[in-house]
């Protein structure tokens, strides 16, 4: 088997695993939200994949990987297969791998504005961010841009995918505002309605992450390197789950399963930037720290009255930032605690700061702009209280009879 064929088969397989992660996101978000909004949450997740696929292929890929300048690519839009190979990969294999990554960033935003954001403005945001915001910052890191030339390291996307998604999610949640009744004299819990769905979703994401991180080698020529990446990815997730479970027990007195599930995701996000150069022992530590930071971030956002129904900002934004910095702490030959000095740590901190600030600022402007036009970015209060499944879609997620309601027209 030729080198190019083997590499292509591995990356295609990894791409399919990453695509399957969207099933995990859909189940996690649905399970963590209230049952009256389950259909709309699922609709948004499938819609994100569809929109991101078309927009990233047409525009985003060129802005991210095309020849251009230090800040943005300006060529290579809508590749048709006649372009030069990317390493040993046909361009369409590489483009598909990057496409399934791009959809993930917007999916992060979906969870943060669940249960109260209007569908059309959210889809417009997805189109704009997939065309411009995500590819621009991606170009800085993976497209030969200014952070790449500085030596910034983000192997599989703690910054490019997760911190960027977290920055966009924070801006969106701030502009859209909290769910009705979420905050008052004290925060009102709005607990997950279906833990089996949420747990299955996390396990699907955990599985898909082996393709997310392992496939980022974009080569099958070093099986030992791929095995190491998959191992440390699994160790970080395992550590994150157990530490989040124990830490919340100590902090709140309860075994909080939802926080533990997010702890596993925190560990996965945290190891993503450095999974190629962080060893097994430090991967366990990375997952543990990420889980604690994720938990504290959730409590901090609650104190700030920023409503995030699924913990997306904390899992992806906070832990994406930490995971990027962890490269400068624990990465072989470059980490501060393994004899590499502080140089890489400084570069990592600068890079993730720029990505967070850029994604947050751009997203804030987009959402504020959307808020000014049409009917705004929030559903009507009556529809929010009734539940978006009935008011927007005219159905119930679990087959219950749909009573008379305010929002759905039964036109035939």
Q: What is the pLDDT of residue 391?
A: 87
Kindly list the domain boundaries of the chain, sorted by start residue. Answer: 3-393
Q: What is the pLDDT of residue 399?
A: 75
Q: What is the DSSP letter of 270?
A: H
Q: Which residues contact 49 (CB under 8 A, 6 or more apart)?
A: 19, 22, 103, 107
Closest CA to 238 of 186, 290, 163: 290
- Per-residue burial over 42-73, b = 16 or more CB atoms within 10 Å of its CB, e = otherwise: bbbbebbbebbbebbbebbbbbbbbebeeebb
Q: What is the pLDDT of residue 409?
A: 41
Write out pLDDT tens, residues 45-62. Answer: 999 999 999 999 999 999
Rounded alpha-carbon distances, angstroms, from residue 346 to 278, 325, 335, 336: 17, 9, 11, 10
Q: What is the pLDDT of residue 375?
A: 80
Q: pTM of whole model > 0.85?
A: yes
User: What is the spatial distance between Cα 365 and Cα 343, in angstroms, rounded to a whole number?
Assistant: 33
CATH topology of domain 3-393: Ammonium transporter fold (1.10.3430)
Q: Which residue numbers in the chain have pLDDT < 50?
A: 405-412
Q: Residue 196 CB: number of other CB atoms within 10 A?
A: 9
Q: What is the pLDDT of residue 402?
A: 55
Write out pLDDT tens, residues 103-155. Answer: 999 899 999 999 999 999 999 999 999 999 999 999 999 999 999 999 999 99
Q: What is the pLDDT of residue 310?
A: 96
Q: What is the DSSP letter of 402?
A: P
Instruction: With beta carbons less than 8 A apart as the criterion, state whether 125 and 91 touch.
Output: no
User: What is the spatial distance between Cα 394 and Cα 210, in angstroms, rounded to a whole number?
Assistant: 38
- Per-residue burial over 165-191, b = 16 or more CB atoms within 10 Å of its CB, e = otherwise: bbbbbbbbbbbbbbbeebbeeeeeebe
């Amino acid at each position: 088997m030729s080198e190019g064929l083997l590499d292509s088969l591995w990356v295609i397989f990894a791409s399919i695993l990453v695509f399957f992660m969207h099933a995990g996101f859909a189940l996690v978000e649905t399970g963590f939200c209230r049952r009256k909004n389950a259909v709309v949450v699922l609709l948004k997740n499938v819609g994100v994949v569809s929109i991101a696929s078309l927009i990233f292929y047409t525009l985003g890929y060129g802005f991210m990987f095309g020849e251009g300048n230090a800040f943005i690519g300006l060529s290579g839009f809508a590749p048709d297969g006649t372009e030069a190979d990317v390493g040993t990969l046909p361009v369409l294999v590489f483009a598909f791998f990057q496409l399934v990554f791009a959809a993930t960033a917007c999916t992060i935003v979906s969870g943060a504005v669940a249960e109260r954001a209007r569908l059309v403005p959210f889809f417009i945001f997805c189109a704009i961010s997939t065309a411009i915001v995500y590819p621009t910052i991606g170009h800085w890191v993976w497209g030969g841009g200014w952070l790449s030339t500085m030596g910034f390291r983000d192997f599989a996307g703690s910054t490019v995918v997760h911190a960027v998604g977290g920055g966009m999610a924070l801006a969106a949640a701030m502009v859209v505002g909290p769910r009705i009744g979420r905050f008052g004299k004290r925060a009102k819990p709005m607990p997950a309605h279906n833990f089996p769905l949420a747990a299955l979703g996390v396990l699907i994401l955990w599985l898909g992450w082996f393709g997310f991180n392992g496939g980022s080698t974009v080569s099958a020529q070093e099986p030992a390197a791929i095995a190491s990446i998959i191992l440390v990815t699994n160790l970080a997730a395992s550590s994150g789950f157990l530490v989040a479970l124990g830490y919340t027990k100590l902090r709140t007195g309860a075994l909080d399963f939802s926080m533990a599930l997010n702890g596993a995701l925190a560990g996965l996000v945290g190891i993503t930037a450095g999974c190629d150069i962080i060893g097994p022992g430090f991967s366990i530590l990375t997952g543990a720290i990420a889980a604690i930071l994720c938990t504290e971030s959730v409590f901090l956002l609650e104190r700030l009255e920023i409503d995030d129904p699924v913990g997306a900002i904390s899992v992806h934004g906070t832990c994406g930032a930490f995971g990027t910095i962890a490269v400068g702490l624990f990465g072989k030959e470059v980490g501060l605690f393994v004899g590499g000095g502080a140089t890489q740590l400084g570069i990592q901190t600068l890079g993730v700061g720029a990505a967070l600030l850029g994604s947050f600022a751009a997203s804030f402007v987009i959402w504020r702009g959307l808020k000014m036009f049409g009917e705004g970015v929030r559903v009507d209060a009556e529809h929010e209280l009734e539940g978006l499944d009935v008011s927007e879609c005219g159905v119930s997620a679990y087959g219950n009879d749909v009573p008379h309601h305010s929002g759905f027209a039964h036109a035939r």
